[in-house]
Chain A
Amino acid sequence: MTSRALVDGVHAAAATGLPPAVRSSTLRHLLLAVASVAAVARAPRVRPLVEHALAQGGRASTPVPGRSELFDAPGAALVVGSAAALGGGAAAAAPPAAALTAPLTAPMAAQLAPVLGAALPVLARDEADPDLLLDALALGVEVQVRVARALEPSAAAAGWDRAGLVGPLGAAVTAGLLRRLPLDRLHHAVAIASSTTLGHGEAVGTDVGDLHPGKAAVGGLLAATLAAHGSTGAPAVLDGPRGWFRAVAPDLDPATTGEVLVAGLGVDWVLAPGTDGAADHGADQRLDREADAEAAALVEGVAPGRGSDLVRAVRALPEHGGCRSLLAALRLEAP
């Protein structure tokens, strides 16, 4: 049951902590993702989602980058996930054919959309160690992209929008790790999340398609929360005889598909390819400068004077004992 091995490996990696190069890269991508959300959080295309989320009347707890209001947890996940994908130039703006490979080719801000959407509500709920945040985000993306790669040979799965299709699995991993779920609970979280996947290619390019990464974030967040409270999903949920792979990709051999899931796990990193986890300080500094400038420019476009504040808040994460100052900075309000 390689789908179990995937979750086992992810949980073990989180327990030992990810290599510096992966954390460094994840921090850059986190910065770009929150800046991407901020850049579009007040755009007309996002407004209906914001209004819908605020109308639900839940407990206001979670900030959305670029918005002054606080949202309830599902509302924040919905808006952040969808806005991160839109702001990151994700598949929604591309024709369906381009959308099919989006998780492997789109800007990383888009790939982070479901996991970031699931992460922020948990950060608002529980004080989290910054390293755990980075590891949870990186491992959520790792799961998403590994499952997407496993599906690549499938013609049957080709019509799905990958952000919706694999996003809930990554979002459940991120939210579950941030909630410090034990291994058996994380298995249940991923299993439950497999019943929340979505994303018909037909909807890409419409308002409905915009929702895919946001709903993926909500699905993963819900799955992790249910698992934390004791809910259960099936074992072998991806590669079982009536599992998720059979449903979305019946033309694939589950054994081969399963091998792709775990090949190089813990050695090859989606967010730090080719590094084996070893830091390259020179390259990191250059990439950091580029990311900082891009993120600041994105924010300055909608909140003049606040771009450098957001960059500083994200960059300060590794030195802080918690993530509260980051959450405060996301609202882009003057000190």
Chain B
Amino acid sequence: MTTPVVSDALCAFATALRWEDLPGSTRSAGRRTVANVVGLAVGASSHPAVEIAVAAVEDLGVRGGASLLGRPETLGPTWAPLVNGLAMHVEDFDDTHLRTVLHPGAPVVPAALAAAELSGASGQDLLTAVVAGVEVASRVGNALCPGHFDRAWHVTGTMGHLGAAVAAGVLLGLDPVRLRHALGLAATQASGHTQQLGAMAKSLHPGRAAADGVEAALLARAGATGPALPLEGPRGLAALMAPDPDLDEALRDLGEVWEVEANAFKPYACGIVSHPVIDAGVALRDLVADPDDVASVEVVVRPVVLEVMGVEEPAHGLASKFSVYHCFAVGLLDGGAGPAQYSDERATSPEVVALRRKVTAVTDPSMPKDACHVEVVLRDGTVLRHDVDHATGSVDRPMTDEQLRRKFELVVSPVLGEGTAALWRAASRVDELGSVAPLFTASQRRG
């Protein structure tokens, strides 16, 4: 059965949602979603891709009063989200709604921040809108995936447009009909394909989604109208962008099951499907006295891992984020996989290159998404085996609040130093803020 009114139903749900409606676990998931990407944006605020984006937007003559996280410049309200969203995603360290492989924080949160800054919304309003945006993006993703992902669409770029428009529209006070027009404006711009994995264009996807979402909400507020059935129409998003959509999935248990609670936070700064392999590398690290002792490594993974993470010889840091071979190597050599493990220097480091060339990958369709099997053969013939049933950060093995705080400190403290704690307080308890201004203020470097 196809639900004919999914666009209207989602917009009615989003505009009716109130802070008081959110269960405690949902509020907590929303706080974690916001804090995680705020930290990442500050941590990546001087990343080359971010510097380029700011320079390009300024080159275009864009100006305005919308704030950037971790940077002093201000831009127009439809452009600041582009930079903030890009910064949140560029390290591939953000979050994942595992069922759809959507990274919801990077498109939804910057759109909400820009709209909240425009409207003077409170932290509770912001968090409620973020939850609404994540729900819509994830639920439409549920309806379109896995076929949508298999068609090479980058779900963060496509579904991110919907979530961003909804979050911004809610904060700008749109009624359900106006929000549906905003959704239509955003849906028709849903874009981004996964050939871009490893290029800077990939992190542009959530940035554009956020920017287009805010613009869609502003245009809808000004009176622009869109199609009646942007998602479910015969030439709408579902029909054009997925081979087998089931739109009933978008409304299943709406308001009872909260998809934001299924948003998992990345412990490693790379494509999430390789996280089990990194866990295995970390676990085997203590059993390998000298990496030169390794003769060969075989990793057994789900086929999608090689489809999106099959780069054998990554030439630079961004490409190494999509190399399952590199991921295992840094897991074993470094005992972790933060941004430093995916720098240009580490991507071309001789010891990493030597080890990753010993890694072969075998696919097994029966392997769960968050699992893998690894065998390391040492030169003396010893065989070391390790199974990962649920990767760190997966829904079944989520990062704790304390782990999330340490991750936040890892990325933010090199930028803010002693100011890190103040930003953590603001970001992790954003619902206690009267406006988002203190969050932006705390994100700025001192001196």
- Of A103-111, A196-204, A301-309, the stretch lying at the interface with chain B is A196-204
Cβ < 8 Å to B, chain A residues 203-246:
203-204, 206-209, 211-212, 215, 221-222, 225-226, 228-234, 236-237, 240-244, 246
Contact with A along B202-243 (1 / 0, CB 8 A): 001100100000010011001111110110011111011101
Q: Is A101 an interface residue (CB 8 A)?
A: no
Q: Which residue in B79, B201, B218 is a CB contact (below 8 Å) of A52?
A: B218
CB A191 to nearest CB in B, in angstroms, measures: 6
Known A164-B188, A192-B201, A242-B194; judge A222-B56 contact (CB<8 A).
Answer: yes
Decide if B188 touches A202 in the complex (CB within 8 Å): yes
- Of B45-53, B171-179, B332-340, the stretch lying at the interface with chain A is B45-53
- Of B59-67, B273-281, B395-403, the stretch lying at the interface with chain A is B59-67
Decide if A241 touches B185 in the complex (CB within 8 Å): no
Decide if B197 touches A234 in the complex (CB within 8 Å): yes
Q: Which residue in B153, B154, B194, B230 is a CB contact (below 8 Å) of A203?
A: B230
Known A73-B61, A164-B188; judge A96-B235 contact (CB<8 A).
Answer: yes
Contacts of B197 in A (CB 8 A): 234, 242
Contacts of B56 in A (CB 8 A): 222, 225-226, 228-229, 231
Decide if A226 touches B53 in the complex (CB within 8 Å): yes
Decide if A200 touches B201 in the complex (CB within 8 Å): no
Cβ < 8 Å to A, chain B residues 137-159:
151-154, 157
Q: Is B262 an interface residue (CB 8 A)?
A: no
Decide if B230 touches A48 in the complex (CB within 8 Å): no
CA distance A73 to B60 in the complex (A): 5
Contacts of A229 in B (CB 8 A): 52, 55-56, 59
Decide if B201 touches A232 in the complex (CB within 8 Å): yes
Q: Is B193 an interface residue (CB 8 A)?
A: yes
Q: Which residue in B48, B219, B233, B243 is a CB contact (below 8 Å) of A48?
A: B219
CA distance A206 to B52 in the complex (A): 35
Q: Which residue in B65, B195, B240 is a CB contact (below 8 Å) of A244?
A: B195
Q: CB-nearest residue of chain A relative to B308?
A: A242
Cβ < 8 Å to B, chain A residues 48-65:
48, 51-52, 56-61
CB B234 to nearest CB in A, in angstroms, measures: 7
Contact with A along B54-84 (1 / 0, CB 8 A): 0110011111110000000000111100000
Contacts of B22 in A (CB 8 A): none
Decide if A225 touches B230 in the complex (CB within 8 Å): no
Contacts of B307 in A (CB 8 A): 242
Contacts of A244 in B (CB 8 A): 193, 195
How many A-B contacts are there with CB distance less than 8 Å? 199
Decide if B230 touches A202 in the complex (CB within 8 Å): yes
Contacts of B223 in A (CB 8 A): 48
Q: Which residue in B205, B219, B225, B237 is a CB contact (below 8 Å) of A200?
A: B237
Decide if A232 touches B200 in the complex (CB within 8 Å): yes
Decide if A195 touches B157 in the complex (CB within 8 Å): yes
Number of interface residues of B (CB under 8 A): 66
CB A70 to nearest CB in B, in angstroms, measures: 10
CB A179 to nearest CB in B, in angstroms, measures: 10
Q: Is B189 an interface residue (CB 8 A)?
A: yes
Contacts of A51 in B (CB 8 A): 222
Q: Which residue in B63, B157, B195, B235 is a CB contact (below 8 Å) of A57?
A: B63
CB B324 to nearest CB in A, in angstroms, measures: 16
Contacts of B52 in A (CB 8 A): 226, 229-231
CA distance A301 to B269 in the complex (A): 59
Q: CB-nearest residue of chain A relative to B148?
A: A247
**Interfacial residues, chain B to chain A (CB-CB below 8 A):** 48-49, 52-53, 55-56, 59-65, 76-79, 151-154, 157, 181, 184-185, 187-201, 204-205, 208, 215, 218-219, 222-227, 229-230, 233-237, 239-241, 243, 307-308, 318
What are 19 A-B interface contacts by the 8 Å CB criterion? Answer: A48-B219, A52-B215, A52-B218, A52-B222, A56-B76, A73-B61, A74-B60, A192-B200, A195-B208, A200-B188, A202-B184, A202-B235, A203-B227, A208-B225, A208-B227, A221-B60, A231-B49, A231-B56, A248-B240
**Interfacial residues, chain A to chain B (CB-CB below 8 A):** 48, 51-52, 56-61, 72-74, 96, 121, 125, 156, 159-160, 164, 191-192, 194-204, 206-209, 211-212, 215, 221-222, 225-226, 228-234, 236-237, 240-244, 246-248, 250
Q: Report the 8 A-B pairs with minimum CB-CB distance, sorted nearest first.
A: A201-B235, A59-B61, A159-B235, A208-B226, A202-B233, A243-B195, A202-B236, A242-B152
Other A-B contacts than A195-B191, A202-B227, A242-B197, 4 sampled, CB-CB below 8 A, are A192-B200, A195-B204, A226-B204, A234-B196
